[in-house]
Amino acid sequence: MFGRRNKKGAAEDAAGEAEQVVDGVDTEADVEVERERVRLEPEPRPDGPWDRSEVREPGEGRVDLGGLFVPGVEGMELRVEVAGDAIVAATVVLRDSAIQLQAFAAPKREGIWGEVREEIASGITQQGGIVDEVEGSLGWELRAQVPVQLPDGTGGFQVVRFVGVDGPRWFLRGVISGQGAVQPQAAGLLEQIFRDTVVLRGEGPMAPRDPIVLKLPNDAQMVPEGVQTEEAGSRFSGGMGQLQRGPEITEVR
C-alpha cells in the first residue's frame, strides 16, 4: 500500500526492516499514514458548506459579508472580528451558544483540515488543556477544554469545539462555544448554519492559510462596542480571544 525504498539484497532487507520496526511498531508506515492523512484531497460536501459556484442565489436568506454568506436565523446576533483594519471572522450568537466562522485560502487539490487539527491540538495541550479528536456530525472535529482566566481571577477551562471543512481552494473553520460545545447534541442549529454557509474565495492569488477578508453588509445595524458587555460575560465567562465582542449586527432576520 505504501511505497518503500528498493533493496538490493537480503542483508539490506533485514537492515531495512530493523530500521522500520521499533518495539513492534512500523514507524515508516506510521509516518506515511500521517502524511497521507493531512494531504488528502478535499472530500465531497453533499450537505455543505458551499462554494459560491454551487449556489445560484447565495444572498437569499443569508447575510452578505463578502467572503462569507452567513445564514440568517431568527433572534441571532452576528458579530464581526477585526484583525488590524480587516474583518476576518464572524461570530453567530444564538441564545447560550455561539459559532465563530472564519475562511482561509487553501491549495487547489489538497485539504488542510487534518494538518490544522494537529496544530490546534498541539497548541492547546502545550497550554495545559485537554483535546479529544472525534468524528461528529460535521466530520472530524476537536473537542477541547482550553485553559482560561475566570472573571474572579482564578484559572478554569472553557469547553470549545473546533470543526472544519475543506472546499475548492478554501477551508472553513468553525469554533463552537457555550452550551453547543458543552452539550454537542444541543448545537443542531449552529451546525446547520455552518453547513449552509457559502464561501466566496475570489479568483485572485492567495497564499494557503491567508484569511479570506470579509466586509460589513450595506444595511448593517451596528451596536456600539461594549453595549451589553455584562450579558456577554455571563454567556462566555473567560471566553477565548477569538470570541471577544466586536462590532455587532443584531436581529438580522
Residues 187-229: tens digit of each pLDDT: 999 999 999 999 999 888 999 999 999 998 876 655 555 544 3
pTM above 0.85, yes or no: no
For residues 78-104, average pLDDT: 92
For the segment 130-144, what is each residue's pLDDT rounded down to a tens digit? 999 999 999 999 999
Is residue 5 over pLDDT 90? no
Least confident residue range of 67-76, 180-189, 194-203, 243-252: 243-252
Cell of 94: 444564538
* pLDDT value, residue 104: 96
User: Which of 179-183, 235-239, 244-248 tops mean pLDDT?
Assistant: 179-183
Strand partners of residue 166: 171
Q: In which residue are the cell numbers 482560561 written?
A: 148
Cell of 60: 437569499
* pLDDT value, residue 40: 65
For residues 18-29, average pLDDT: 46
C-alpha closest to that of 76 among 93, 59, 60, 64: 93
More confident residue, 73 or 5: 73
Residues 6+ apart with CB under 8 A from 44: none
Contact 64, 206 (CB under 8 A): no
For the segment 156-170, what is each residue's pLDDT rounded down to a tens digit? 999 999 999 999 999
Sign of CA dihedral 236, 154, 118, 85: positive
